[in-house]
């Protein structure tokens, strides 16, 4: 029996009008361009790519916090725009990068954690209080912190609060947008282990946005690589990290990983120049940085080749 994917996006696109100033015309910044993927029950799909490639914009659309300019998101087969806010929130919850910015500084920890369940109708106060205690213990927060304010907690504790809050409504999916990037290196592993552990205990699926390949390798089942608003390669962790086929994925891995002769990754220097999303290159957006680029690459945008679950968008992926 084929189950409905928890999340299915098709041709998801988001542009922002920017600039304009006093007399300049408004221009369109294409942050996410035609992104299609599926997230299945219990799965961890990682999204990787350089800063500015559209990861957070994608996350916000999947959470229903930002409307797409084209394409759609379905949660368990239902178009997200037809779902009520609370119904959506009971299904998919966020954990953001910065636990300092994402917690209301004026509320006590127990109030912050309780909020998503308080918003759901007809839950008794005593049941909410019980659930808060349960979630705090699940994420490794001492009960004595319940009456504290966020400013009294460490970064790692605050991220545990954000995770406990996300789990209050027993969502099926948690969208984690760089959940450890703002934390000290020493606590990053603790939070990642917690996410790993909770995935099993709560049968969660994650859309895990990260630019840390080691994290992805450790946690994820599948990986989507984004470049300038598009998914250029997707597949299992073994496929994409072990046998990358898109020159961008190869360059990204070569720039991050220790040189590994067994992997035979070509030396493609990415340099610091990320193309301007207001003025994207013609054809394949990666062609100005790609050592394999030919005339075709500057004129024609490559189609995604392969299966929906394992594709590469490159004219020369097979050569």
Ligand X SMILES: Nc1ncnc2c1ncn2[C@@H]1O[C@H](COP(=O)(O)OP(=O)(O)O)[C@@H](O)[C@H]1O
Residue 54 makes contact with ligand X by CB under 6 A: yes
Strands 44-48 and 205-209: parallel
178 closest CA partner among 89, 75, 286, 48: 48
Strands 310-312 and 92-95: unpaired
Tell me which of ligand X, Mg ion, none is bound by residue 273, counting a contact when its beta carbon lies within the kind-specific cut-off of 5 to 8 angstroms. none
Cα gap 280→30, rounded to integer Å: 9
In this chain, which stretch among 51-59, 77-85, 114-122, 192-200 interacts with Mg ion, using CB under 5 A? Answer: 51-59
Residue 51 makes contact with ligand X by CB under 6 A: yes
**Smaller CB separation from ligand X, 30 or 222:** 30
Helix (H) / strand (E) containing 16? strand 7-19
Residue 57 makes contact with Mg ion by CB under 5 A: no
Distance (Å) of CA 288 to CA 29, 49, 119, 285, 291: 19, 17, 49, 7, 8
In this chain, which of 52, 155, 275, 288 binds ligand X, going by CB under 6 A?
Answer: 52
Residue 115 makes contact with ligand X by CB under 6 A: no
Residue 46 makes contact with ligand X by CB under 6 A: no
Partners of 8 in beta bridges: 38, 74
**Smaller CB separation from ligand X, 61 or 173:** 61
Instruction: Give the count of residues interacting with ligand X (CB under 6 A).
Output: 12
In this chain, which stretch among 49-57, 187-195, 227-235, 247-255 interacts with Mg ion, using CB under 5 A? Answer: 49-57
Residue 180 makes contact with Mg ion by CB under 5 A: no
Mask for 1-30, x = binds ligand X (CB under 6 A): ---------------x-x----------x-
Residue 55 makes contact with ligand X by CB under 6 A: yes
The angle at the Cα of 229, spanning 224 to 235, to the nearest 5 degrees, equals 15
| Residue-by-residue DSSP string for 233-273 | EEEEHIIIIIS--SHHHHHHHHHHSPP-GGG--------S-
Question: What is the end-to-end Cα distance of the chain in Å, rounded?
Answer: 37
37 closest CA partner among 231, 228, 168, 214: 231
Residue 62 makes contact with ligand X by CB under 6 A: no
Tell me which of Mg ion, ligand X, none is bound by residue 159, counting a contact when its beta carbon lies within the kind-specific cut-off of 5 to 8 angstroms. none
Residue 56 makes contact with Mg ion by CB under 5 A: yes
Residue 57 makes contact with ligand X by CB under 6 A: yes
Residue 273 makes contact with ligand X by CB under 6 A: no
In this chain, which stretch among 55-63, 71-79, 108-116, 197-205 interacts with ligand X, using CB under 6 A? Answer: 55-63
In eight-state DSSP terms, residue 80 is G
Residues contacting residue 157 through CB under 8 Å, at least 6 positions apart = 141, 145
In this chain, which stretch among 47-55, 151-159, 253-261, 300-308 interacts with Mg ion, using CB under 5 A? Answer: 47-55
- Residue corresponding to tokens 């898109």: 246
The structure tokens listed for 103 are 């917690």
CB of 251 to ligand X, least distance (A): 17
**Smaller CB separation from ligand X, 29 or 182:** 29
212 closest CA partner among 46, 57, 59: 46
**Smaller CB separation from ligand X, 9 or 57:** 57
In this chain, which of 5, 7, 13, 56 binds ligand X, going by CB under 6 A?
Answer: 56
What are the residues binding Mg ion (CB under 5 A)?
Answer: 55-56
Interface residue list for ligand X (CB under 6 A): 16, 18, 29, 31, 51-57, 277
């Amino acid at each position: 029996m084929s189950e409905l994917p928890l999340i299915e996006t098709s041709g998801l696109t988001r542009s922002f009008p920017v600039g304009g100033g006093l007399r300049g015309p408004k221009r369109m910044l294409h942050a996410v361009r035609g992104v299609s993927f599926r997230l299945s029950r219990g799965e961890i799909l990682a999204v990787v790519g350089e800063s500015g490639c559209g990861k957070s914009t994608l996350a916000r659309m999947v959470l229903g916090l930002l409307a797409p300019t084209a394409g759609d998101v379905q949660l368990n087969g239902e178009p997200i725009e037809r779902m009520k806010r609370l119904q959506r929130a009971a299904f998919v919850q966020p954990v953001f990068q910065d636990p300092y910015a994402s917690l209301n500084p004026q509320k006590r920890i127990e109030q912050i954690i309780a909020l998503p369940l308080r918003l759901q109708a007809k839950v008794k106060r005593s049941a909410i209080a019980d659930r808060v205690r349960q979630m705090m213990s699940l994420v490794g927060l001492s009960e004595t912190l319940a009456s504290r304010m966020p400013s009294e907690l460490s970064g790692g504790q605050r991220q545990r609060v954000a995770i406990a809050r996300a789990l209050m409504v027993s969502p099926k999916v948690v969208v984690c947008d760089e959940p450890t990037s703002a934390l000290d290196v020493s606590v990053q592993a603790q939070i990642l282990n917690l996410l790993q552990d909770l995935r099993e205990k709560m049968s969660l699926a994650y859309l895990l946005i990260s630019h840390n390949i080691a994290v992805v390798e450790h946690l994820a089942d599948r990986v989507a690589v984004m470049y300038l608003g598009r998914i250029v390669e997707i597949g299992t962790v073994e496929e994409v990290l072990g046998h990358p086929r898109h020159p961008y994925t190869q360059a990204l891995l070569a720039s991050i990983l220790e040189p590994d002769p067994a992997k035979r990754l070509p030396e493609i220097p990415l340099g610091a120049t990320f193309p301007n999303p207001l003025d994207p290159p013609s054809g394949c957006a990666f062609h100005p940085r790609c050592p394999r680029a030919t005339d075709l690459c500057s004129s024609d945008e490559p189609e995604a080749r392969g299966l929906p679950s394992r594709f590469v968008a490159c004219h020369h992926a097979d050569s």
